[in-house]
Amino acid sequence: MKPAWDKLMKKYADHKTILVADVDCTAGGKDLCEDVGVQGFPSIKYGDASNLEDYEGGRDFDDLEKFAKESLGPRCGPANLDLCDEAGKKTIEGFMAMSAADLKKAIEEKDGEMKKADEDLEELLKSLQNQYEEAQKKRDDTKKAIKEAGLGLMKAVQAHRKLAKSEL
């Protein structure tokens, strides 16, 4: 993916409203990556710098370029109300009317909900992992008991009988 990304950065290097860049999350960009929620590598984020979204599309140059053409650039937001539909404008106006303290509290609540969703998924995954491991152990124990009950000898007898019949 890196060559395709480098090519896309080069293509948009002088663009006035679209920035295509990369950040090394293991070095000087570590704090930035933590702030925007990078959880794995490579990650692609897009959108308003204060509210980046995860890119889920293809990773070759054609897919990246198509996405850039169709989706990057100025978007509906407080700095670009003219790009918003009526519902978007109304939502932004509601947030703009909130006090700084109320807005901060609302953001913290939503961030808490996001964190809880991640924690719920992690808890489910742990539960599923435990169920899987228990099922694997049960399967292994069952197979061991079947083998110990003579399955191998049964197959040996069957093979011996076939061999004996073919010799006659």
The predicted-structure confidence for 119-162, as pLDDT tens digits, reads as follows 999 999 999 999 999 999 999 999 999 999 999 999 999 999 99
The answer to whether position 142 is within a domain reads: no
The answer to whether position 50 is within a domain reads: yes
The answer to whether position 85 is within a domain reads: yes
The answer to whether position 14 is within a domain reads: yes
The domain tally of the chain equals: 1
The answer to whether position 63 is within a domain reads: yes
Torsion of CA 103, 106, 108, 114, to 10 degrees: -140
Rounded to whole angstroms, the Cα distance separating 124 from 45 reads: 26
Radius of gyration of the chain (CA): 29
* 41 within 8 A of 53, measured Cβ to Cβ: no
Can you tell me whether residue 53 is helix, strand or coil? strand
CATH code of residue 23? 3.40.30.10
The predicted-structure confidence for 27-78, as pLDDT tens digits, reads as follows 888 888 888 888 878 888 888 777 888 888 999 999 999 988 888 888 888 9
Q: For residue 145, give every residue at least 6 positions away whose Cβ sits within 8 Å of its Cβ, in sequence order, or none.
A: none
The answer to whether position 30 is within a domain reads: yes
Instruction: Quote the pTM value.
Output: 0.58
The answer to whether position 69 is within a domain reads: yes
The answer to whether position 57 is within a domain reads: yes
What range defines the domain where residue 33 resides?
A: 2-97
